[in-house]
């Protein structure tokens, strides 16, 4: 079955094996000598097929953001491999790392601090095209920025605004626009709707879904909110203490969670579907 093997190898856009990350422990800074290291990712294996939407859940401090930052190579892994489109990117440096940035992008939780407050939106969005040599003139770059705004549902007037003049939802649209500027194959979105009104959350997540469908990019959606992941992701991975405790298709994970930790997380969902037996018991009480 060599043909099948080859097909599988190509359809898995991202394959992570045994990923470990240690960082200097900010909680324990000795007066002299080296800061002790703290292991934050403890051997993560995961696969993301091309075009997929994968949710990452787990309580605060479980390592979700650190995983995303390591995948986009804001951190260098301590051990393990990150194979992206057939290339080992875990040890890339310099120009090679810059090229990775065109193919894998991240949208951050705190759009307020992720966008340079001194730059107009037009400059923020034109920048990637200039830095990566995709355009020859500033006019051309601004035209591309304007097209990006349209893709994320904002009018060209926003080119001239500053980040602080935008609402939280609008800023996240800009974060998404900047992430998709160079046509990445994978976007990692870290808690991008937390802190937004529920109706705005839905709009932002729908925008991301629409963009995923129209561009064929894959999305890794990190959220502590399981209902978000349930609605928008095909598969889910569950993290705890820097490890993956469970992974699978969204439907089966929500219907038959295997790990006790996943079951506990599921019980904590704030908006469960209404259980008919609950209505019956209420009626009984009223009788």
Residue ranges in contact with ligand ADP by CB under 6 A: 23, 25-26, 38, 40, 58, 60-66
Least spacing, CB of residue 58 vs ligand ADP, in Å: 6
Q: Which of 20, 80, 72 is nearest to 186 (CA)?
A: 72
Check binding of 66 to Mg ion (CB under 5 A). no
Least spacing, CB of residue 164 vs ligand ADP, in Å: 25
Tell me whether residue 66 or residue 172 sits nearer to ligand ADP (CB atom).
66
Least spacing, CB of residue 65 vs ligand ADP, in Å: 3
Q: DSSP of 134-199, one letter per residue?
A: --SSHHHHHHHHHHHHHHTT--GGGGG--GGGS-HHHHHHHHHHHHHTT--SEEEEESTTTTS-HH
| Distance of alpha carbon 211 from alpha carbon 184, whole angstroms | 11
* 101 sits in which H/E element: helix 94-103
Site string for Mg ion, 24-63 (x = CB under 5 A): ----------------------------------------
Tell me whether residue 40 or residue 71 sits nearer to ligand ADP (CB atom).
40
Cα 180 to chain centroid distance, Å, stands at 13
| Distance of alpha carbon 149 from alpha carbon 249, whole angstroms | 33
Least spacing, CB of residue 60 vs Mg ion, in Å: 7
- State the pairing for strand pair 53-57/218-222: parallel
Tell me whether residue 149 or residue 247 sits nearer to ligand ADP (CB atom).
247
* HSE value, Cβ hemisphere, 13 Å, CA-based, for 56: 28
Radius of gyration over alpha carbons of the chain, in Å? 21
Taking CB within 5 to 8 Å according to partner kind, which of Mg ion, ligand ADP, none is near residue 141?
A: none
Taking CB within 5 to 8 Å according to partner kind, which of Mg ion, ligand ADP, none is near residue 201?
A: none
Residue 56 near residue 221 (C-beta atoms within 8 A): yes
Check binding of 65 to Mg ion (CB under 5 A). yes
Taking CB within 5 to 8 Å according to partner kind, which of Mg ion, ligand ADP, none is near residue 61?
A: ligand ADP
Tell me whether residue 123 or residue 172 sits nearer to Mg ion (CB atom).
172
Tell me whether residue 47 or residue 62 sits nearer to ligand ADP (CB atom).
62
Least spacing, CB of residue 188 vs ligand ADP, in Å: 12
Least spacing, CB of residue 237 vs ligand ADP, in Å: 12
Q: Give residues with Cβ within 8 angstroms of 277, minimum separation 6.
A: none
Binding site for Mg ion (CB under 5 A): 64-65
């Amino acid at each position: 079955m060599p043909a099948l093997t080859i097909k599988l190898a190509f359809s898995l856009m991202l394959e992570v094996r045994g990923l470990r990350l240690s960082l200097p422990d900010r909680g324990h800074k000795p007066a002299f000598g080296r800061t002790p290291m703290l292991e934050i990712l403890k051997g993560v294996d995961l696969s993301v097929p091309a075009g997929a939407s994968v949710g990452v859940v787990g309580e605060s401090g479980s390592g979700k953001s650190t995983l995303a930052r390591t995948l986009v190579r804001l951190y260098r892994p301590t051990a393990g491999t990150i194979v992206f489109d057939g290339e080992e990117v875990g040890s890339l440096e310099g120009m090679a790392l810059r090229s990775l940035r065109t193919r894998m992008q991240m949208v951050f939780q705190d759009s307020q601090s992720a966008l340079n407050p001194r730059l107009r939106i037009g400059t923020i969005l034109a920048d990637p095209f200039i830095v990566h040599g995709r355009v020859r003139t500033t006019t051309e770059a601004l035209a591309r920025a304007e097209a990006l705004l349209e893709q994320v549902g904002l009018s060209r007037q926003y080119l001239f605004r500053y980040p602080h003049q935008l609402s939280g939802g609008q800023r996240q649209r800009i974060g998404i626009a900047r992430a998709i500027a160079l046509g990445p194959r994978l976007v990692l979105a870290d808690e991008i709707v937390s802190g937004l009104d529920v109706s705005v959350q839905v709009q932002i997540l729908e925008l991301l879904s629409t963009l995923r469908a129209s561009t064929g990019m894959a999305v890794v959606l990190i959220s502590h909110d399981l209902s978000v992941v349930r609605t928008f992701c095909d598969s889910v991975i569950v993290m705890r203490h820097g490890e993956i405790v469970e992974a699978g298709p969204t439907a089966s994970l929500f219907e038959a969670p295997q790990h006790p930790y996943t079951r506990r997380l599921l019980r904590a969902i704030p908006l469960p579907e209404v259980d008919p037996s609950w209505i019956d018991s209420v009626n009984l009480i009223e009788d």
